[in-house]
Amino acid sequence: MTTEVFNYSFVSTAENDRASEAKSALGNGGGWLRAIALALGKIADAMGERMLELARQIDTLQKQQQDNPDATIDGKGLTELNAELQVLGQQLGQMLQQLATIVKTIGEGNKDIARKQ
């Protein structure tokens, strides 16, 4: 599976899910701040799932290489899989920091607006 295919199908699905969640959150009194937090949280969940998948592949490949040192998964060796896992870990960490900053900034802005009214 190529990265482009994964990103395209993920983005399309995520956009549809977020639109539905935003509508339901507004109907449930959750508001758009909650809808944003839920949307970003689901993106973080998807990144975490991809990391788990890579960790499983690394584990499987390590077991395979005990019998066959030249074994690969989809043409990728342990070094490449480990590098990809590290990149995803850094991206997830940055995204989670951004998520916290976004929600905090919007919440503080709402608090300031409410105080001035």
Query: Are the beta carbons of 3 and 84 closer than 8 angstroms?
Result: no
CA dist 77 and 2 (Å) reads: 17
67-105 pLDDT tens trace: 988 888 888 889 999 999 999 999 999 988 988 898 888
CA dist 30 and 25 (Å) reads: 5
Query: Are the beta carbons of 113 and 105 closer than 8 angstroms?
Result: no
Torsion angle (degrees, nearest 10) of CA 13, 24, 43, 49: -80
- DSSP label at residue 74: T
CA dist 73 and 21 (Å) reads: 37
Query: Are the beta carbons of 99 and 41 closer than 8 angstroms?
Result: yes
CA dist 48 and 50 (Å) reads: 5
11-43 pLDDT tens trace: 566 666 666 666 665 555 567 778 888 888 888
Q: Is the pTM of this model over 0.75?
A: no
Query: Are the beta carbons of 77 and 58 closer than 8 angstroms?
Result: no
